[in-house]
Every structure is written in structure tokens, then in C-alpha cells.
Amino acid sequence: EKCVACARKCVCWSNISIMHVEKYLELFHLSQEKLKEVSARLKRDLIRGLGKHSHHRAAVKMLPTFVRATPDGTENGDYLALDLGGTNFRVLHVRVVEEQQRVLKMDSQICAIPQEIMLGTGEQLFDHIAACLSEFLDSQDLKGKTLPLGFTFSFPCEQKEIDKSILIRWTKGFNCSGVEGRDVVQLLKEAIHRRGDYDIGSVAMVNDTVGTMMSCGYRDQSCEIGMIIGTGTNACYMEEMKNVKRVEGEAGRMCINTEWGGFGDDGSLRDIQTEFDVVVDQTSINPGVHTFEKMISGMYLGEIVRLLLVRLTEDKLLFNGQTSEALLTPGSFETKFISEIEEEDTGLENGQNILTKLGVKCDPVDVRVVRLVCDTISSRSARLCAAALGTIANRIRVNRGLDHLKTTVGVDGTVYRKHPNFSEELQDTVRLLVPKCSITFLVSEDGSGKGAAMVTAVAQRLALQSRLLEDSDGEDEEVEEDEEEEDK
């Protein structure tokens, strides 16, 4: 008979089989009430992370970015963007055109970072970056211009100002000496100064999530949230300055990089972690860290599915109880397989091909079970992500004393972009959880390139406005003094 629980996926098999499989899958089904509980826990963590004295022990770090506004549509001009986050880095020339409300990527260049430089001195690394930047400026005929630069530096940093960011520790195979504990903007400027053949203008440090928000913010000025759901996950949003206790000043707003991947690192999500989540965490390179990320992001979803498939096979509910060497190998079931298997028209055929390559003998019912497992794991991911996003949207609404909030989320990441059902389930769940928030989703165009340029452009606009304000204040005083003289 056709199983009612799986009618959407058209799974036909015996009710006894579905009962046994559902016993495992029900661990991943989160009710609306449970999602609201998760949301309430995250809300407490956001407040703790913003606190002056509580932030150091908060699981959700709520890092100030010193980005104090989103685009207002008046930004224009030419900018450079530098994106360093792995064994390659990109240099971009970006033009912001006010009349067309467009951010144009004029050109870009990818530069490799050799292994010996990744493990050499900080001076060697930044000299290499400065040399590649010089070569790019030559190719663009920009050597004579002093352009502002947006710097996306995807390593753990403590940001002190928009142009000051201290490297906490290297990751991703880098171990350059003399950089940890130092300001990476200063190191870049020193390397450029050593060359002496060009100069750069103001520098703005850009987190990739903030870049996502800002790249969308020029197209849609109501975009005040940035979210990434790809290999990892994170979000940022515009918070009221009066709530950002670690930074002086009460007026206006500041973008906060939540680092929500760490949600649950204090054990607050233990009740919804399954035994499979626990194994994924314990066998990862950073056990006990990024608990939330490990339940919802692309780096881990495939492995959760693989562990579940192995268990179902061992319990003789799949593949006639016969595993394969490939299926037993950690990391062999890639997250992209989930998307391919859940494709509406070709999913079952894709599943058959994937499972065959993994060395298991499967019949059509096995493929349908695997599809159901994939759907269950990706659905949990989307619903958890929706709970977290709803928390942020509702916080903005309450912060502003609104009965109803209309806002836009700039979003990026392969899970959101590539999975056939993820974005729809995420949006449907957000609508259920926060009915007082109407959220539009806008897919980012190159947050680490165009978005970095927009952060720099907005920072320049604000700096110019504050200078103009200071100047006009001075003029008022002079006028008043002149008037007083005339009265005498």
C-alpha cells in the first residue's frame, strides 16, 4: 500500500517497513512548538552575546562589524575588493552606478597562494598579496588612482573598527608567523608601502555574511538581514546601537555578525540532537564547536544521511542488509547527492546511479527510502534555519516597536541555491513561526566582491556626511560670532 506519511514522495512499500524506518526518522521531525522553543533559546543567546559582561561566555558571539548603515542608493564610484579565504584569493574592480542603481563587476583576477607562503612569514604573505594587487591594477590601468578597498578576510578575527581587525587564529591550512594578534589591515598597508608603486584609499573589513546583505541592499534598500546557508551557515542583521553594549554610542544602528553557527555550543540544543548528530560532532575536526552549523549546513548534511543509511542497512531495512566499503567510508555521501536525489523528475534515477556508484545493491523501494531519508534531513535543516531567521526578524520588529515588519533577507550559499525544496520549506516555515513579519528573500550577487565594495561605499558616504556635519557646525558658530560682533 501507499504510505500516507510519504505520499508526497510516492513511496509504496509495506506499512511494517515504514513503521520501522519512521522510528529513526521521527527523531528529526520538529514540531512548530519545538521550533518556537528553539527560537526562544536563540533569542536569549542573542541578548547574552550583545551584553558588555556576558558576551565572553555566550555561545552566539554577536560580533560588532562597525558597519553602521545599509546602502541608500546614492553610493557611486570605483572600488577595489580583496577576497582572501583559502588557497586562492580574488582581486576585483567594482563600479557602483547611482543612476542605474547597479553594482558592476568590471573585472577580477584569481591569484594562487603557494604552500610555502601559506606556511611562511606574514610579511611574505602580504608582500605576495600586494604584488598580485599591483599586477591587477596595471592590467586595469588603475595604477594612478587611489581607490577605496573592501577586504573580505575569512578567518577568525576580532574587529575593532571598520578598518581594524585582529587575527585571532589561522585556519584552513594557513600558519603564517607574525600575524596572529595583529591588525591585518595594517599588515596589508605596510606591504603596499614597501612596494611603493601604488597606494589604496580607505579600507573596510567585510565579513562574508555582511557582504551578502550589502550586495542585496543596493538593489533593495529594505534589506537588513544577511544569511548564508552553504558549506557553513551564519547571519547578520542591523541592531539598534543602544543594545550593542560593547561599543560606545547609543544613536543609530550597527550590523551585527551573529556567528549563529555556535548556537547550542553550551548544550542548549541537546534535546534535539540525535545520536547521528552526536557522531558527526565527535568525528569532526572541532568537536563541541558550531553545534547548530553541524545540524543544518552543507559540510555535514551528507554525513548525517550516510550514518542513517548505514544504521538502516545494519537493521536490515535497506539494501538487503548489505553495506559496501564506500558507504562505510566517512564523507562518501556528499551533500550534493541529497539535492540530486530530491529532484522532482530525475531524483529516483539519480538516486539509483549514486547508490550504484557507492557499491550497494538496491531495488526501487530502497531508492525511495533513501529519498525519504534525504528529504527528512534537509527538511529539518530548513526548519531549524527558519526558526533562527524568524528570531532575528522578530527582534528587529520588536526593537522598532512595529506591529508588522516588512524586510528583505539577502541570502547566499549552495544549500539555499542548489537544493530543490530547501528555500520553499524555509520560507513556508518562517511565515508560520513569525506571522507578524513579511520577509522577501533576495539571492546575493557576489557578496565577497560586490558586497565588499558596497560596505566600503557606505562607510565612505557616512564618513563624508560626518565631515560635512562637523564643517557645518563650525560654520554655524562662525556665523553666530559674526552676528554677535554686528550686534555690538
Provide the annotated active-site residues: 172, 208
Copy the grid coordinates of residue 106: 568590471
Torsion angle, CA of 66/72/78/83, rounded to 10 degrees? Answer: 40
d(CA 31, CA 244): 33
3-state secondary structure 347-412: HHHHHHHHHHHCCCCCCHHHHHHHHHHHHHHHHHHHHHHHHHHHHHHHHHHHHCCCCCEEEEEEEE
Q: Under a CB-based contact definition with an 8 Å cutoff, are residues 482 and 252 in contact?
A: no
Which DSSP state fits 65? -
Long-range contacts (CB closer than 8 Å, 24 or more residues apart) made by 216-220: 216/408, 216/410, 216/442, 216/443, 216/444, 216/445, 216/451, 217/70, 217/71, 217/410, 217/454, 218/71, 218/73, 218/75, 218/96, 218/101, 218/102, 218/103, 218/454, 219/101, 219/442, 220/408, 220/440, 220/442
User: Within 10 Å of residue 430's Cβ, how many Cβ atoms?
Assistant: 24
d(CA 328, CA 101): 52
SS3 content of the chain, % helix, strand, coil (to 5): 50, 20, 35
d(CA 248, CA 268): 30
Copy the grid coordinates of residue 143: 595604477
d(CA 322, CA 316): 8
What does DSSP say about strands 63-64 and 223-229: parallel, antiparallel, or unpaired? unpaired
The secondary structure element, H or E, covering residue 80 is: strand 77-84
Q: Name the residue among 478, 1, 443 with its Cα closest to residue 226.
A: 443
d(CA 235, CA 259): 7
Q: How far apart are the first and last CA of the chain?
A: 101
DSSP string covering 7-18? GGGT-B--HHHH
